[in-house]
Amino acid sequence: MTSCTNNDEPTVDELDGLTKFKEISNTTHTIELYKHMSGLEQGYNEIALKIKDKTTNQYVKDATISWMPVMHMAMMNHSCPKSPVTKVSTDGLVYEGYIVFQMAQNATEYWDLKIDYTINGAAYSMTSVIDVPASTKQKVTTFTGSDNVRYIVAYVDPHHPKVGINDMVVGVWKMQDMMNFPVVDNYKLKIDPRMPSMGNHSSPNNVDATQTLAGDLYNGKLSLTMTGYWKINLQLLNASGTVLKGETITDAVPASSIYFEIEF
């Protein structure tokens, strides 16, 4: 127990390392969108946001927010995996969540983001087209498993891979319908990092990604013996250990049908 009553706690910069990539406005508020490194791209995106009251120019501290990203295709619309939007800290002004864009925009198809929020019981909404270019390396893969379920698997971390053992985070979701993509629980994502340019060299002591808490992302260990281009070959296993998609790497099978790519 401490009896210290000093209130001069250093304020944590909740936006440390993040950059603003977009502002969306309606008549009452402006929402600023932030992200680690540049803007959104195909794959897993961790997004932070702040709501500014246009009249007071103050940031709103207690809002309840939900969002809905939608892909507008020629024949249909669909959404993608996403998390709820939550406050980073009770006293802070920043809200965050993730969205996994399983596909990129193109000349005729685009994503927009609808944000619904309530402040002191009053409901508001705003929608804007967002820019989701294709990622240079494959960070997300969509496939139909042997159980005929459509899955989305996305690479989350490390953002900055290093030579050595990296803590690896991935996400596994399934398509329930066009608008709902819940997290899949208790599966396993096997990883086999390879360097195709180096005779498909692999690394030892990788740990397959598993989930500790239902609803969470999956954690594993990724060993990288050198810098360069790595293809992380994947296999998705369900709770009973059946391979739903992906192949074991052998001399005859140099790559799996599902994989991520990193280069550093």
Partner 1 sequence: MKKFLLFIGMFFLIPTVIIAQEKSIDTITPKDLKEVIVIGKKAQLYQKQAKPLATIDEYLQQSTKVDMIRRGSYAWEPMINNMTTERTLVTIDGMRVFGACTDKMDPITSYVEVSNLSEATIKSGQQGACHGSTIGGSIDLQRNRSGFSDLGWDTSLNTGFETNSKQKIIGSAVNYTEKAFYVDTDFMFRDAENYTDGMGQEVLFSQFRKFNISATSGFAFDKNKLLEGSIIYDKATNVGYPALPMDVSLAEALITSLKYEYVPESSKIENWETKIYYNTITHKMDDTKRPSVPIHMDMPGWSDTFGFYSKAKGVLNNHHFIADLNSFYNRSVAEMTMYPADSNEKLMFMYTWPDVKTVYTALFLEDNIALNCHSSLKFSTSLANHYNQVASELGLESLQIFYPNMKDSKNRILPSISSNYSYDENGFSYGFGLAFGERAPSVSEGYGFYLFNSFDLFDYIGNPELKNENSLEGSVSVGYKTQKWSAKMSASYFHISNYIVGKPDETLIPMTIGASGVKIYTALDYATIFNADLNLEYQFSTDFKWKGQLVYSYGKDFEDQNLPFVSPLRYFSSLDYKNGKFTSEIAVQGNATQTQFSPFYGEDRTPSYAILNFDVGYSFAFEKVKCNLKTGIENIFDTYYSTFSDWNNIPRKGRNFFLNVAFGF
Residues of this chain, 121-180, that bind partner 1 according to CB under 8 A: 162-165
- In this chain, which of 135, 228, 238, 254 binds partner 1, going by CB under 8 A? 228
Q: Which is nearer to partner 1, 188 or 194 (CB)?
A: 194
Interface with partner 1, residue 68, by CB under 8 A: no
Strand pairing report for 140-144 and 86-87? unpaired
Smallest separation, CB 220 to partner 1 (Å): 14
- In this chain, which of 30, 128, 210, 223 binds partner 1, going by CB under 8 A? 223
Distance of CA 135 to the CA centre of its chain: 13
- In this chain, which of 229, 243, 247, 255 binds partner 1, going by CB under 8 A? 229
Interface with partner 1, residue 226, by CB under 8 A: yes
- In this chain, which of 28, 201, 238, 247 binds partner 1, going by CB under 8 A? 201
Distance in angstroms between the alpha carbons of the first and the last residue of the chain: 47
Interface with partner 1, residue 207, by CB under 8 A: no
Interface with partner 1, residue 242, by CB under 8 A: no
Evaluate the CA torsion angle 254, 173, 171, 69 in order and state its sign. positive
Number of residues that bind partner 1 (CB under 8 A): 23
Distance of CA 24 to the CA centre of its chain: 21
Of 166, 208, 191, 167, residue with least CA distance to 249: 191
Cβ–Cβ < 8 Å for 250, 228:
no
